[in-house]
A and B are shown apart, each in its own frame.
Chain A
Amino acid sequence: MNKLRMIENMTKERALEVRRNKDGANFVEIPEFGPGDTINVAYRVVEGEKERIQNYKGIVIARRGAGLHQSFLVRKVSNGIGVERVFPLFSPMIQGIVVIRSGKVRRAKLYYLRGMSERKIRAKLS
Chain B
Amino acid sequence: MKGAILGKKLGMISYFAEDGAQVPCSVIEAGPCPVVQVKTVETDGYSAVKVGYREVKEQRVNKPEMGLFIKAGVKPVGNITEFREYNGDLQVGDVLTLGQFAKGDKLRITGTSKGKGFQGVVRRHHFSGVGMATHGQSDRQRHPGSIGSSSYPSRVFKGMKMAGRMGGTKITVRNLTVVDIIEDQNIILIKGSVPGAVNSVLKIIKL
- A residues near B (Cβ < 8 Å) are 1, 3-4, 6-8, 10-11, 14-15, 18, 44, 46, 67-69, 88, 90-93
User: In terms of DSSP, what is the predominant structure of the interface of chain B?
Assistant: strand
Do residues A7 and B19 form an inter-chain contact, with CB atoms below 8 A?
Answer: no
Do residues A1 and B11 form an inter-chain contact, with CB atoms below 8 A?
Answer: yes
List 20 A-B residue pairs with CB atoms under 8 Å apart, sorted by A's residue number: A1-B198, A3-B10, A3-B29, A4-B27, A6-B185, A7-B182, A7-B185, A10-B182, A11-B13, A11-B15, A14-B16, A44-B20, A46-B19, A68-B13, A88-B14, A88-B16, A88-B22, A91-B16, A91-B20, A93-B20
Do residues B185 and A18 form an inter-chain contact, with CB atoms below 8 A?
Answer: no
Complex: how many Å from CA A67 to CA B22? 14
Instruction: Return chain B residues, CB-CB under 8 Å to A46.
Output: 19
Nearest chain B residue, comparing its CB with the CB of A88: B22
Minimum CB–CB distance from B112 to chain A (whole Å) comes to 20
Do residues B182 and A69 form an inter-chain contact, with CB atoms below 8 A?
Answer: no
Instruction: Return chain B residues, CB-CB under 8 Å to A4.
Output: 10-11, 13, 27
Nearest chain B residue, comparing its CB with the CB of A10: B182
Do residues B16 and A11 form an inter-chain contact, with CB atoms below 8 A?
Answer: yes
- B residues near A (Cβ < 8 Å) are 10-11, 13-16, 18-20, 22, 27, 29, 180, 182, 185, 187, 189, 198
Complex: how many Å from CA A88 to CA B182? 24
Do residues B10 and A92 form an inter-chain contact, with CB atoms below 8 A?
Answer: no
User: In terms of DSSP, what is the predominant structure of the interface of chain A?
Assistant: helix
With A1-B11, A68-B13 as known contacts, state yes or no: A7 contacts B187, CB within 8 Å. Answer: yes
Do residues A8 and B13 form an inter-chain contact, with CB atoms below 8 A?
Answer: yes
Complex: how many Å from CA A69 to CA B16? 10
* Residue in A1, A18, A67 whose beta carbon sits within 8 Å of that of B18 in the complex: A18
With A7-B27, A88-B22 as known contacts, state yes or no: A18 contacts B16, CB within 8 Å. Answer: yes
Nearest chain B residue, comparing its CB with the CB of A16: B16
Instruction: Return chain A residues, CB-CB under 8 Å to B27.
Output: 4, 7
Complex: how many Å from CA A5 to CA B16? 16
The 7 closest A-B pairs by CB, nearest first: A93-B20, A69-B14, A4-B11, A15-B16, A4-B10, A68-B14, A8-B13
Nearest chain B residue, comparing its CB with the CB of A90: B16
Minimum CB–CB distance from B2 to chain A (whole Å) comes to 26
Extra 5 A-B pairs, beta carbons < 8 Å, given A11-B180, A69-B14, A92-B18? A1-B198, A4-B27, A7-B13, A88-B22, A91-B20
Instruction: Return chain B residues, CB-CB under 8 Å to A6.
Output: 185
Instruction: Return chain B residues, CB-CB under 8 Å to A69.
Output: 13-14
Nearest chain A residue, comparing its CB with the CB of B13: A8
Complex: how many Å from CA A18 to CA B19? 10
Complex: how many Å from CA A1 to CA B180? 19
Minimum CB–CB distance from A6 to chain B (whole Å) comes to 8
Complex: how many Å from CA A15 to CA B30? 23
